[in-house]
Structures are given as C-alpha cells and as structure tokens.
Amino acid sequence: MKHSQRLGVSAAALAILAALSACGGGDSASSSSPRDASGAPATLNVAIPSAVVAPKEEVATYAVGDAEGYFAEEKLKVDVINTDGSVAAVQAVASGSADITPADAGAILAAREKGVPVKAVGGLVRNWPWRMAVRPDSEIRTPADLKGRKVGVISLASGSAIYARAYAGDAGLDAAKDVELLPVGVGAQALSALEDGKVDVLALFTQAYTTIENTGAEFRYLDNSDAFEGIRSLTFAVTERTLKEKKDVLTRYLRASYKALLFSAVNPEAAMRDGYEVFPRLLTGKKADDRVGDDSRSLNAWIRTAVPAAGEPEGFSNWGAISEAEWNKTVAYTKASGQTTQDTDLAELWDDSLLQGANDFDNTAVIEKAKAAEQ
C-alpha cells in the first residue's frame, strides 16, 4: 500500500484542470484488462478527501477491501492518496494523480460547471450525514433560533460551512447576516468551542459527533427539514478519459468497495480491526483492544450514512444507484449554497454504466464471511 503526500487546492484551481485534462494530462495510460502485459494486477490510485484520522470511508471501503482480499479477488492493486478535502480530491483525479475519488457531490458538480471533464459513476454516502447540535441545556430549540448565533464549522471551505449556510437559509434566515460561521475543526477542539461558549451550535457530520460522544459528551440535535432528504454526499468520480480507458478496472474496484461496505455493515468491529491493520496510525499508539469499542461505534455511525436506511443487509441491493430525483435535489442544494450557479446536464455528469457489473456479487457470501470474522 502506498501513501503519498497530502494534496491541497483552492477552488479557483479547478478552472485550470479542465485544460490539463483536455490535453491528456488527466490520466495515466492503463489497460482495461484484469492484468497488464507483465501479468501484474491492474493498479488503481484512489484519492481520499481527508487525512486518515478517524474511521470513515477509507476503512469501510479501502481497508476492508484490502485486508479481506476483495481487491485481490478482482486482481487489483489499489494505492491511496490523501487530500485536503473533496475539491482537492477532484483535482487529484483531474490532474491524473488519482484515477477515482469518493468526493462530495457538490465538489463534483462545481468542477463540472468549471469545465473539468469529471463523471460521477457511483454513489457512496446515500443518507444525509450533516446535523446541527447544541449543548443539552441550550435555549436554541428550532432552526429559527439560530438568528444572531455563532455556528461552529470544520472550516470555512468545508462541507459543514456549506451545510450551515443552507440550513440557515432553509430556516428563513439570511446566512450572510443572521449567523456567524467560525472554524472549530472536529473532535476535542470542536467540543471545547461549544462548551466554552465560543460557538452556540456545531455543524458536523454524524460520525464526528459519535467520536466526541464516545468521550462522554452529550449533544441535543436540531431537526433537518425535508429539504435535506435525498441530497447526496460522497460520490465516486472519475474523468471521462479514465472511464473510457479503464471501464473494466473501475467496475471491479466499485464491486470490491461495495462488498467491503457490506462486510463493514455486518461486522463493524471486524472492519475496524482491518482498519488498524491497514492504517496503524488510527491506533494513536494504543492497543487495538483498548480502542476498538469506541472506534467501531464511530465507524458504524459513518456506515449508517452509506447503506440503506431501512432493512437488513441480506436485502441490500442497487449499490451506487442515484435516482434522478436525488440528483435534482443535490443540484438544487449546490446552487442554493453557492457551490454552483447553473443547472447541470445530468447526461454529461452521471454515468451509471458500471453499476450493473459493480453489483454482480453474492450478498450472502459477503455476509457469511463478515459474521465469521474474528472480533
């Protein structure tokens, strides 16, 4: 497994990437056959839109795919690049540093609007992960109560800032005047900002709250309105050229990733132990047995955003599917939050041609393997 340096980029840099990709710099040459001429497994570079500091998609899809042999079954050698957020992850794909990324749908839409030839090829996070949280004794009870308040976001360029602005707008507030956004990060830093009164409310994703709650902290959550139901978050994206040249390889990668996600949903603790094996830094110098309980709860909170909201794993199907209605809500959200300014031609953005092959696996075999895994 290879890890490169973290990549960072400003949103303005995306405009340059369209020219880079159009000139052929967007992808490295690769055969779409299972193995290259030397007989080696096909190599695929994946850009993860964050550092590996808490268990999320990099554990549930990549680490499990590696440790449980799903990549090997597909004759793939998968390498990881860590980036500073979804915009940077899309940049890595557009510039050819990576072949595929599970980036935020808004970043993919914004890149497409700027002329970057990226395609969404499969969904990952299907249930809206962002929530507003306050202290249990807070006088803030409704979205409208945010008027005049300070909202803690991960950073001013993060998805949490976009969500906070959209949440205020949905409540009838002027996001630019009625609320103040302050960067507080995640974890202990975010909790301290809330408890010390630096901010009145936090705008974080579900897994981040669970990680904090593992320390004994308590939150009270404000409701998301129906306006946020159906908006998609992390979505697999590639360039048009990569899709054309590596269709079979990408299909096999998605299939392995969705198998890994199903495994993780059935046995989060076994998945977390795979995470420690592949990403030892998650242990922060501690023993796995001392961390696995809390970390499994955190991982499971993320997994719940990526699997169907109802039903049992045996019935999970249609991995990666995104309906037209969901895309329309996602496009409307990105426009309302200022990420994009125009409607998107979904025929140019969305290509679901890989999903039939990506879903060609036996749920029962994956589930049985997960249940049999040592904990």
Q: Which string of DSSP letters, residue by residue, matches 77-122?
A: EEEEEEBSSHHHHHHHHHHTS-SBEEEEHHHHHHHHHTT--EEEEE
CATH number at residue 83: 3.40.190.10
- Give whole-number Cα distances, 139 to 135, 145, 149, 181, in Å: 9, 8, 11, 19
63 in any annotated domain: yes
Contact 68, 264 (CB under 8 A): no
Terminal alpha carbon distance of the chain: 24
Count Cβ neighbours within 10 Å for each residue of 308-325 and write b for 16 or more, e otherwise: beeeebeebeebbebeee
Q: Is 238 exposed, middle or buried (0-12, 13-18, 19+ CB in 10 A)?
A: buried
The CA distance from 221 to 135, in Å, is: 9
Q: Which of 308, 213, 203 is nearest to 261 (CA)?
A: 308
Q: Which of 35-44, 221-230, 287-296 has the lowest mean pLDDT?
A: 35-44
Q: Is residue 6 part of a domain?
A: no
- What single-letter amino acid sits at 10? S
Give dist(CA 92, CA 49) in Å, integer: 10
Indicate whether 241 and 348 sit together in one domain.
Answer: yes
Identify which of 208, 234, 258 has the alpha carbon closest to the alpha carbon of residue 73.
Answer: 258
- Asked whether 342 and 113 are in contact (CB, 8 A), the reply is yes
Note whether residue 4 is domain-resident: no
Co-location of 100 and 247 in the same domain: yes
pLDDT computed for residue 52 by the predictor: 66
Domain shared by 348 and 240, yes or no: yes
pLDDT for 25 beyond 80 = no
Given 228, 253, 268, which residue is the final one in a domain?
A: 228
Residue 335, SS3 per DSSP: helix
Examine residue 191 and state whether it is found in any structural domain, yes or no.
yes
DSSP string for 44-66: EEEEESS-SSSSSHIIIIIIHHH
Q: Compute the residue count for the chain.
A: 375
pLDDT digits (tens, 9 = 90+) for 195-211: 999 999 999 999 899 99
- pLDDT for 39: 60
Residue 303: pLDDT above 70? yes
Give residue-wise pLDDT tens across range 334-345. 988 888 998 888
End position of a domain, from candidates 228, 257, 281 = 228
Based on the fold, state whether residues 123 and 138 are members of the same structural domain: no
Between the CA of residue 267 and those of 114, 176, 212, 283, what are the distances in Å? 41, 43, 22, 19
Q: Within 13 Å of residue 60, how many CA atoms lie on the same side as its CB?
A: 29
Domain end position, chosen among 170, 194, 228: 228
Total of domains in the chain = 2
In a domain, 5, yes or no: no
The pLDDT-based confidence of 84 (bands split at 50, 70, 90) is confident
Range picked from 20-24, 274-278, 308-312 for highest mean pLDDT: 274-278
Task: Please indicate, yes or no, whether residues 212 and 337 belong to a single structural domain of this protein.
Answer: no
Give residue 339's pLDDT: 87
Confidence of residue 314 (pLDDT cuts 50, 70, 90): confident
Shared domain check, 194 and 151: yes
- Domain residue limits at 203: 130-228
Indicate if 23 and 103 belong to the same structural domain: yes
Q: Is residue 48 part of a domain?
A: yes
Pair 314, 241 in one domain: yes
pLDDT given for residue 159 in this prediction:
82
The Cα–Cα gap between 72 and 298 comes to 27
Q: Whole-angstrom Cα distance, residue 264 to residue 276? A: 14
Whether 2 is covered by a domain: the verdict is no
Q: What one-letter code names the amino acid at 114?
A: K
Same domain (yes/no): 114, 192: no
Could you tell me the pLDDT band of residue 3, with boundaries at 50, 70 and 90? very low
Read off the tokens for 145: 């109560």
Considering the domain boundaries, does residue 3 fall inside one? no
Same domain, 118 and 254: yes
Whether 247 and 366 share a structural domain: yes
In this structure, the answer to whether residues 189 and 275 fall within a common structural domain is: no
